[in-house]
Amino acid sequence: MDSSQYRDAAHTAIEDIIKYHDTIADRPVLPSITPGYLRPLIPDSTPEEGESWDAIQSDLERVIVPGLTHWQSPKFMAFFPCNPSFPAMLGEMYSSVFNAAAFNWICSPAVTELETIVMDWVAKLIKLPDCYLSQGEGGGIIQGTTSEVIVTAVVAARERIIRRRLVHIPESEEKLDKMAEMRGKLVALGSEHAHSSTQKAAIIAGTRFRAVPAPQSSGFAVTAAALRTTIEACKAKGLEPFYFTATLGSTATCAIDDLVGIAEVAKEYPDIWIHVDAAYAGSALVCPEYQHLCKPIEAFDSFNFNLHKWLLVNFDCSAFFIKRRKDLIETFSIVPSYLRNDFSESGLVTDYRDWQIPLGRRFRALKVWFVLRTYGANGLRKMIHNTIKVGEYFHSLLESRQDLFTVVTGPAFGLTTFVVNPTKVEGRTEALDLEEGNRVTKAVYEAVNRKGEFFLTSGVLDGVYAIRVVSATENAEEKYLKLLFEVLIKLAEEEREAK
Ligand code: PLP
Strands 405-412 and 415-420, bridge-based pairing: antiparallel
pLDDT value for 254: 98
In a domain, 96, yes or no: no
Same domain assignment for residues 246 and 114? yes
CB–CB of 137/324 below 8 Å?
yes
E strand intervals along 67-146: 139-143
Cα(275) to ligand 1 centroid in Å equals 14
Same domain assignment for residues 248 and 107? yes
Same domain assignment for residues 403 and 452? yes
- 362, 387, 408: which is the final residue of a domain? 362
- Residue 422 pLDDT > 90: no
- Residue 426 pLDDT > 70: no
Same domain assignment for residues 358 and 384? no
pLDDT value for 432: 61
Whose alpha carbon is nearest atom 11 of ligand 1?
Answer: 146
Which secondary structure element, helix H or strand E, spans residue 419, and what is its range?
Answer: strand 415-420
To test the pocket of ligand 1, the residue of 303, 306, 311 to mutate (highest count of ligand atoms within 8 Å of its CB) is 306
pLDDT interval class at 54 (50, 70, 90): very high
Amino acid occupying residue 108: S
In a domain, 342, yes or no: yes
Same domain assignment for residues 199 and 336? yes
Strands 464-470 and 302-306, bridge-based pairing: unpaired
CB–CB of 69/348 below 8 Å?
no
Same domain assignment for residues 282 and 227? yes
Atom of ligand 1 nearest to the CA of 278: 3
- 338, 362, 386: which is the final residue of a domain? 362
Q: Which residues line ligand 1 (CB under 6 A)?
A: 79-80, 145-147, 195, 197, 247, 250-251, 277, 279-280, 306, 318
What range does the domain containing 10 cover? 1-30+69-82+377-499
CB–CB of 41/53 below 8 Å?
no
In a domain, 193, yes or no: yes
Q: What is the mean pLDDT of residues 365-385?
A: 98
Cα(342) to ligand 1 centroid in Å equals 38
In a domain, 95, yes or no: no
Same domain assignment for residues 108 and 183? yes
Question: How far apart (Å, rounded) are the C-alpha atoms in residues 53 and 50?
Answer: 9
pLDDT digits (tens, 9 = 90+) for 163-211: 999 999 999 999 999 999 999 999 999 999 999 999 999 999 999 999 9
pLDDT value for 498: 79
Q: How many CB atoms lie within 10 A of CB 22?
A: 9
In a domain, 59, yes or no: no
Mark 148-163 as b/e (b = at least 16 C-beta within 10 Å): bbbbbbbbbbbbbbbe
pLDDT digits (tens, 9 = 90+) for 4-45: 999 999 999 999 999 999 999 999 999 999 999 999 999 999
Percent of the chain at pLDDT exceeding 90 = 95
In a domain, 89, yes or no: no
Tally the domains of the chain. 2
Residue 442 zone, left/alpha/beta (φ > 0; ψ -120 to 50; rest): alpha
- Residue 425 pLDDT > 70: no
Same domain assignment for residues 328 and 460? no
pLDDT digits (tens, 9 = 90+) for 276-328: 999 999 999 999 999 999 999 999 999 999 999 999 999 999 999 999 999 99
Q: Is the pTM of this model over 0.90?
A: yes
CATH number at residue 133: 3.40.640.10
Question: How far apart (Å, rounded) are the C-alpha atoms in residues 354 and 357?
Answer: 8
- Residue 431 pLDDT > 90: no
CB–CB of 104/319 below 8 Å?
no
Strands 139-143 and 318-322, bridge-based pairing: antiparallel
CATH number at residue 425: 3.90.1150.170
pLDDT digits (tens, 9 = 90+) for 198-229: 999 999 999 999 999 999 999 999 999 999 99
Same domain assignment for residues 178 and 321? yes
Cα(197) to ligand 1 centroid in Å equals 7
Q: What is the mean pLDDT of residues 371-380?
A: 98
Residue 143 pairs with which residues in a beta bridge? 318
Cα(146) to ligand 1 centroid in Å equals 6
Q: Is the ipTM of this complex over 0.95?
A: yes
- 362, 396, 421: which is the final residue of a domain? 362
In a domain, 42, yes or no: no
CB–CB of 104/344 below 8 Å?
yes
In a domain, 49, yes or no: no
Same domain assignment for residues 304 and 412? no
Amino acid occupying residue 238: G
pLDDT value for 496: 82
Same domain assignment for residues 353 and 468? no
To test the pocket of ligand 1, the residue of 197, 199, 200, 250 to mutate (highest count of ligand atoms within 8 Å of its CB) is 197
Whose alpha carbon is nearest atom 5 of ligand 1?
Answer: 251
Same domain assignment for residues 227 and 181? yes
To test the pocket of ligand 1, the residue of 154, 250, 251, 470 to mutate (highest count of ligand atoms within 8 Å of its CB) is 251
- Residue 374 pLDDT > 90: yes
pLDDT value for 213: 97
To test the pocket of ligand 1, the residue of 142, 146, 307, 417 to mutate (highest count of ligand atoms within 8 Å of its CB) is 146
Phi and psi (nearest 5°) for 208? -80, 165
Atom of ligand 1 nearest to the CA of 280: 5
